[in-house]
Structure formats: C-alpha cells, structure tokens
Amino acid sequence: MKILLVGSGGREHALAWKMAQSDLVSELLVAPGNIGITREPKCRTAPVPSDDVSGLLELARNEKVDLTVVGPEAPLVAGLTDLFVKSGLRVFGPSAAAALLEGSKVFSKDLMKKYKIPTADYETFEDYDLASAYLKSAKFPLVVKADGLAAGKGVFVCNLEEEALDALHQIMKQKVFGIAGERVIIEDCLEGEEASFIAFTDGVSVIPLASSQDHKPIFDNDRGPNTGGMGAYSPAPVVTTSAHDRIMNEVMLPTVKALEAEGRPYMGFLYAGLMIKDDLPKVLEFNVRLGDPEAQPLLVRMKTDPVRLMLSALEGSLSKETIKWDNDAAVCVVMASEGYPGSYPKGKIILGLDEAETIPGVKVFVAGAESSPSGVVTSGGRVLGVTSLAQNIPEAIKKAYEGVEKIYWEGAHYRRDIGKKALSRS
C-alpha cells in the first residue's frame, strides 16, 4: 500500500524509517518530510506543509494513497482527520473533537476532573488581572500553562511568585504563544518522577507501548526553560509493574471511555505525560500523537509492524494485537541549535553524520536539517536525535554519546545527562 505520512521532525523520520520496513508498504510519501527521510528506502517527500490541511487532502487524492498517518498535533487539532474521512480516505489519528484533549489544556483538565482521572488541582483564568491576583496568595512551587498548542514550550514550573508573574506576562500579555495563551491554567506542582506512557487505541481497546521518559528542560539536571524534548530513553524503570497497571486502569482506559461518553470517540496514538510517586501516577498532560523524542527509542525497540497495528485500530480490532519489543534498551540524545528554545541561527554546516552511523547500534534521526550547496545544514531548533540500541541503559547511554561526539556544527548544544534517572534506579 502507499502511505502518506504528515510531518517533518525527528518523530516523522523515525516513523518513516520504521514503516518503510513493513511488508505492507510499497511506497511512503512524507509531507513535507526532511533530508533524513529522503535517504530511507521506499520514501520520498512532497513540499506540502503539515498545517496545510486542504493541500494535504489534494496530495492524498492525487497520489491515491491508501492510508494517511499524522505525526504532529496541529493538523489533528485543525481537523485533518475529519476532512479526510469526509472525503472517503483512511487516516490514523483522532478527530478534531477528540484531539481537543491536547488542543486545550482547560478541556483536558476539566475532563479529568469530571471523570476522576488523577491529576493536579488547578484553576483556570481568562483574565490577566484575576490570574495575577490569584498568584499573590498561591502556594509555591506551582505550574503556569498556556491553554493551547505551544510546541511543548507553554509550561512554566515556578518556584517563586516573581517567576509565575513573569510566565503569566509572557503568555497573556506578550502573547509569546499567540492565541494559545488566551487562557491559562495555574496548577499545583506535582512531586515525583516523570514518565511518558503512549498507547495505540481504537476507541475501546488500549494497547500500550513500552515505557519511556522524556527530558523537557533545556539544561542538565532539569534546569532552564521547557523544550519540545532534549532526549528520551526506553524502558523507564520508574514505570514498575504496579505503576503500569495503575496507569492503564486509572488513566488510559478511563480517558478513552470518558471521551466516548462525551461523544468524542478517540482513535490513534494516546500519550499521557505522567508524574509518578510511590507507584501512584498523576497526569501532567495528554498528547494526541506519538511523542518526540520518545518515538525514536520506542521505534528502534519495537519488533511488531506498526502499520499492522494502525490498520487494526482503524478496523476496531486492536484487542487481537500484541506488541513485541527488543529486550535491549534505547537512548536518544537530541542535538539542538544554540539559543533553542528561544531564537536560534540557521544554516550551520553539520559534520560527522555518516561517521556517527558507523557505530553499531546507532541511528541518527533528522529533525531540523536541510541540504545546501555547502552540504547538510541546520534549519531548526532541535536538529538531530542520535539514537542507540544496546543491551542495557548504561551501554545505550555510552553508545548514544559516542555518536554525538562524532557530530559537529557551530553552536551545537545537548544535555549530557540523558538517562541519568534510570541509572539511579538500576
């Protein structure tokens, strides 16, 4: 079959790499894709932006694609699935009504409150002055969040009132996240260790992926502003058997049932960002797509064909499926441009890509790079995801950083502690 994959980041490169291995796939068209994807078997790209929903529909029709898989959240929230289904095309991804789970943090928190899904206590504000007044008497630390989509950057963990007021000013006054900041959530800061829990669902059954952990802040030891993710590893030891069972029974299954009850049946990837303490999970946020960079270590460990799972989800027969995993561990270290998650330069020449992939078990996924007359150059904030597969987390960490050390461009930045939390639990 011919598949259209929507997106251009490291997640989409990892998905393209994995789906191209499927015997079910004859051709993979990625819009807009990136330079790394063009190097994968069966893959070609099309210059249609991922937020151009009507352009993507035209592309899918002209190319006669059999299935569309959506990588990023924005086109899902914008209604890509609804438009394609109305046109008689198959899409793996939730409707706009269901995608509001990520599209609005207020909707998500209200849903969790209504259906008793564990999360932090919170207040919602549309008025800047009322939110500022609330902060004057609030207990710290707390978290300030923009309501809408902000590419993973609209969350501020604040230890002091001054920090919270600054976050509020950025969101509601400076409009650094645009219309995403028209409403804010101010919520309690949860204690524990973060984990990412991602699953396939057909709206009834939930088939979980292996556990993983992202690293959101830009600097080592979780310091600095949040990013789209600076690295990830799988499996995540914090997700014990007990925690896994509670996540499924208290978070994932109830959320799918809640959305069904609200008239918003959910089909696609469902991602819960969690805080876990003493095996007790609480939801930080929901995402309506495969995580990035969690996709990279998860997909290098996955032995089951994800295309088959997607087709089963579309047919409502996911309950018959299981996922097999490589027993080895995987680690992804994100290499970013200087200045990210703020403004950053582009066009820096990247050296050492091919050398990094000569290391056994290392795969470099491209997130923000393009070709130029000078060679491969940077074009985004997160540029590469250097991903390794090895017999355990310590070996995978060592191998990933060996790959990182082969790569150079002016101003390259990366965290040096990816996977450290897993080591403390070994």
Instruction: For residue 343, give the amino acid letter.
Output: S
Instruction: For residue 193, give the amino acid letter.
Output: E
Q: Kindly state the average pLDDT of the residues 241-248.
A: 98
Cα(365)–Cα(52) distance, integer angstroms: 24
Model pLDDT for residues 268-314, shown as the tens digit of each residue: 999 999 999 999 999 999 999 999 999 999 999 999 999 999 999 99
398: helix, coil or strand? helix
Q: What is the DSSP letter of 80?
A: H
Model pLDDT for residues 333-383, shown as the tens digit of each residue: 999 999 999 999 999 999 999 999 999 999 999 999 999 999 999 999 999
149: helix, coil or strand? coil
Is the pTM above the cut of 0.85?
A: yes
Cα(165)–Cα(300) distance, integer angstroms: 42
Per-residue pLDDT, 102:
96
Residue 426's pLDDT band, with cuts at 50, 70 and 90, is low
**pLDDT of 153 higher than 90:** no
Provide the terminal-to-terminal Cα distance of the chain, rounded to the nearest Å: 43
Q: Any idea which residue has 């095309």 for tokens?
A: 89
Per-residue pLDDT, 171:
95
Higher model confidence: residue 424 or residue 379? 379
The DSSP string of 171-205 is: IIIS-TTGGGGSSEEEEEPPPSEEEEEEEEESSS-
Per-residue pLDDT, 74:
95
Closest among 274, 270, 206, 216 to 240, alpha carbons compared:
274
Model pLDDT for residues 192-230, shown as the tens digit of each residue: 999 999 999 999 999 999 999 999 999 999 999 889 999
Mean of all residue pLDDT scores within the chain: 96
Q: Kindly state the average pLDDT of the residues 86-111.
A: 97
Q: What residue ranges define each of the domains in the chain, with the CATH number in brackets?
A: 2-96 (3.40.50.20), 121-188 (3.30.1490.20), 196-320 (3.30.470.20), 329-424 (3.90.600.10)
DSSP lists the bridge partners of residue 67 as 3
Residue 425's pLDDT band, with cuts at 50, 70 and 90, is confident
Cα(105)–Cα(419) distance, integer angstroms: 28
Dihedral (Cα; 71, 65, 99, 52), 10-degree rounding: 80
Residue 52's pLDDT band, with cuts at 50, 70 and 90, is very high
Cα(363)–Cα(399) distance, integer angstroms: 10
Instruction: Name the pairing type of β-strands 280-287 and 329-336.
Output: unpaired
Cα(327)–Cα(305) distance, integer angstroms: 16
**pLDDT of 120 higher than 70:** yes
Tokens representing residue 409 in the block: 């461009």
Dihedral (Cα; 138, 142, 148, 154), 10-degree rounding: 130
DSSP lists the bridge partners of residue 155 as 145
What percent of the chain clears pLDDT 70, i.e. is strictly above it? 100
Instruction: Name the pairing type of β-strands 67-70 and 91-92.
Output: parallel
Residue 424's pLDDT band, with cuts at 50, 70 and 90, is confident
Instruction: Answer for the pair 152, 216: CB distance below 8 angstroms, yes or no.
Output: yes
Residues 6 or more apart whose CB falls under 8 angstroms from that of 45 comprise: 29, 30, 31, 32, 33, 34, 37, 38
Residue 151's pLDDT band, with cuts at 50, 70 and 90, is confident
Cα(3)–Cα(24) distance, integer angstroms: 10
Cα(71)–Cα(10) distance, integer angstroms: 10
Instruction: Name the pairing type of β-strands 122-125 and 43-45.
Output: unpaired
Q: Kindly state the average pLDDT of the residues 159-172.
A: 94
Residue 152's pLDDT band, with cuts at 50, 70 and 90, is confident
Q: What is the DSSP letter of 351?
A: B
Instruction: For residue 74, give the amino acid letter.
Output: A
The enclosing H or E element of 277 equals strand 268-277
Tokens representing residue 377 in the block: 């150059």
Cα(204)–Cα(143) distance, integer angstroms: 32
Handedness of CA 96, 100, 104, 110 (dihedral sign): positive
Task: Please classify residue 129 by burial: count the beta carbons closer than 10 Å to its beta carbon, then call 0-12 exposed, 13-18 middle and 19+ buried.
Answer: exposed
